[in-house]
Chain A
Amino acid sequence: AQSVTQLGSHVSVSEGALVLLRCNYSSSVPPYLFWYVQYPNQGLQLLLKYTTGATLVKGINGFEAEFKKSETSFHLTKPSAHMSDAAEYFCAVSESDSGYSTLTFGKGTMLLVSP
């Protein structure tokens, strides 16, 4: 069975500061990993994904994440936060050999950005 843990239900940063959102996963097989963002009253928007290959993945809006197999982590970072980054962020995992597209999500981290 797979699972995702996001450390911190809320993270507060100042505009211009580094954003770091933590995600650890467990999976019995090589995982596919995703980060999604959700703005109020909207669905989830894909930020980036890791399937195979390069472990540093770049996504939209200046976000990137690094897959570290030894640490079972897939933390999301952005060098400089914008006010528009304030939203809820979800890390998700799917198993590469399941044949399904099913995602298991973390509980989410609300990013708060102050001026």
Chain B
Amino acid sequence: KAGVTQTPRYLIKTRGQQVTLSCSPISGHRSVSWYQQTPGQGLQFLFEYFSETQRNKGNFPGRFSGRQFSNSRSEMNVSTLELGDSALYLCASSQPGQGSPLHFGNGTRLTVT
């Protein structure tokens, strides 16, 4: 079974631009979560989608948004990029049910200059 696929692997953007990251979950997984990983703050939860609905959101500004499609694929968007948005963005998928582990993709490395 194919794992979680994130595209692109690397991105370089300029301050003020916007960016869209894509995530394809493991087949059959309907829950998709996004995390931001930085050296200073570690792994921080952005949001979680289930059946095209956002059901949980972390403490990030409104510039960070996401959506999930009917095939469970997900995208996240960051508008008006700031230097501090430089990070590894990780997508994870899971099966429904309490305690189901998250399965992570290899991430998108975003660099904002």
Contacts and interface: CB of A to CB of B under 8 A. Distances in A.
A22 interface: no
B105 interface: yes
Nearest to A44: B104
Interface stretch (B41-49, B60-68, B78-86): B41-49
Contacts of A63: none
- Which residue, A43, A94, A101, A105, has most C-beta atoms of chain B within 10 A? A101
B1 interface: no
- Which residue, B31, B55, B102, has most C-beta atoms of chain A within 10 A? B102
Contacts of A42: 106-107
B45 A102 contact: yes
Interface residues of B, number: 24
- Which residue, B4, B6, B42, has most C-beta atoms of chain A within 10 A? B42
Interface stretch (A10-18, A45-53, A68-76): A45-53
Q: Interface of chain B, helix or strand or loop or mixed?
A: strand
B104 A102 contact: no
A33 to B, nearest CB: 9
B108 to A, nearest CB: 10
Contacts of A96: 98-99
A94 B48 CA distance: 13
Interface in B35-57: 35, 42-43, 45, 48, 55-56
Contacts of B33: 101-103
Given A44-B104, A105-B43, 12 more contacts: A34-B101, A34-B102, A42-B106, A44-B102, A45-B104, A52-B99, A96-B98, A101-B48, A101-B100, A102-B33, A106-B42, A108-B42
Interface of A: 32, 34, 36, 41-46, 49, 51-52, 90, 94, 96, 99-108
